Amino acid sequence: MRDHRNSIVRRHHVLDVTFQKAIREAVEKAGFDKRVSPHTLRHSFATHLLASGTGIRDVQDLLGHANISTTEIYLHTAKHTGIGVRSPFDTL
């Protein structure tokens, strides 16, 4: 975003509460019956990355996990949702 005073491009951070409110309003507007939170979006993002073949180390880096075992939880979830993570050998 450009600073209107001197046209310098600066990064502006959104407060957690503001982001949570925006999610809550979008969920309400969409008419979802299920609970959705910013963490739900993060979880979905990770699961879909893994399902599309992104390496677990790359997902770990994107999510900022210090320990790979935290990221491995998403592998377990991907298998249970039926998305699964395909091995390159599956395409042979």
Q: What is the CATH number of the domain that holds 74?
A: 1.10.10
Structure tokens at 21: 């409110």
What is the tally of structural domains in the chain?
1
Q: Does the residue 6 lie in any domain? A: no
- pTM > 0.85: yes or no: no
pLDDT of 89 above 80 = no
Please check whether residue 2 lies inside any domain of the structure: no
Does the residue 73 lie in any domain?
yes
pLDDT score of 73: 85
In the predicted model, what is the mean pLDDT of residues 44-70? 90
In a domain, 9, yes or no: no
Span 2-36, pLDDT tens digits:
777 888 887 777 788 998 999 999 999 999 988 89
Would 66 be classed as within a structural domain?
A: yes
CA angle 38, 42, 40 (to 5 degrees): 55
Residue 4, domain member (yes or no): no
Residue 92 lies in a domain: no
pLDDT of residue 88: 64
- Domain residues for the domain of 69 are 16-86
